[in-house]
Amino acid sequence: MSDAPNPTEKRSLAQRLLDGDKRALARAITLVENDDPAGWELVREVYPHTGRAAIVGLTGAPGAGKSTLISALTKLRREQDRQVAVLSIDPSSPFTKGALLGDRIRLTEHFLDPGVFIRSMANRGALGGLSEAALQGALLMDAAGKQDVLLETVGVGQAEIDVIDHADTVVLVLMPGSGDSIQALKAGVMEIPDIIVVNKADHPMTDTMVREIRSVLSLAPESGWRVPIVKTEAAFGKGVDELLEQLDAHRSYIEEEGTLSERRTRNLRNEVLAICTARMRRALEERLAADERFQAMLDEVVARKLDPATAATRVLAELDAPDARA
């Protein structure tokens, strides 16, 4: 049974969201996350009021201190009297499909602040580290008047690079002495960030890691923006003010160069394609679940009489047939 509001409530929900009502924002994100048609209609209604927030994506391996860094950034932004929203993408529960970690424990100091909105969203198996509904959630936060939207991806290493399809500025958080960090150096992940943070910088390997990062960055093609490396100790607030300065500097740079508009065009194009892909997959799964021929074909694949690629080619050929499109 859908919990969709009636039309009067729906209009009220949109207006309350635009007025900055935190409960309305929470309900709106739930509707979108549940793929409720009322949620998508709500996004459509408030979409003209978006595009004002600065969206920052923070990515990096588990344990690098992303949540602590976000908490410290939130504190500084609130001191500037800015409205802040945090969207943390968590691993999904295999039972409920909900976020396992819930609202971040390290962000508890901000829970009662009316100028901060914190939400966890399950990635539901999205290999890129971000839920397919993540950008929609960010748009709703934007529409609700949040000036800074901080996206934190689930820490799954290389696969979380699709944060670049959601953020205006991407921050890669690394920590010294970590094998995951060294892998990031080798895996082409260095092409992603606009800013690199070496957190837990009291570690004796910090300077070594900074030299390694600079060496890797020197191999990249030259561009107008030189990726800065910021050393922080987020748990103690050290270096976070410098990170904030770099965030503001990058924002100014992409606005002046005109690349902010280009980034958002790319992001929204990719979001349209992602939603199309997700919906087409669900429709295909529903259609094939009731198709006895498909089940028989799967039995052949399991029996090693037919390879998966050939089976997929046959399925697509049948879908493309004139009678299938009728």
pLDDT in tens, 8-62: 455 589 999 999 999 999 999 999 888 888 988 999 999 999 999 999 999 887 7
Q: What average pLDDT score do residues 174-186 get? A: 68
- The Cα 251–Cα 255 span in angstroms is 6
For the entire predicted model, the pTM comes to: 0.81
Q: What is residue 299's predicted lDDT score, i.e. its pLDDT?
A: 93
Report the number of secondary-structure helices (H) and strands (E) in the chain: 12, 7
| Average pLDDT in the chain | 81
Residue scoring higher pLDDT (234 or 282): 234
pLDDT exceeds 50 at position 129 = no
Q: Which residues pair with 152 in a beta bridge?
A: 58, 88
Q: CA geometry: angle at 20 spanning 16 and 22, to 5°?
A: 85
Contact at 8 Å (CB) between 54 and 115?
no
pLDDT exceeds 70 at position 1 = no
Domain layout of the chain by residue ranges: 1-49, 50-259, 272-325
- The Cα 94–Cα 161 span in angstroms is 23
pLDDT interval class at 159 (50, 70, 90): very low
Q: Which candidate, 111, 168, 169, 156, places its Cα nearest to that of 129?
A: 156
Cβ burial, residue 290 (10 Å; 0-12/13-18/19+): exposed
Question: 50-259: which CATH topology?
Answer: Rossmann fold (3.40.50)
pLDDT interval class at 94 (50, 70, 90): very low
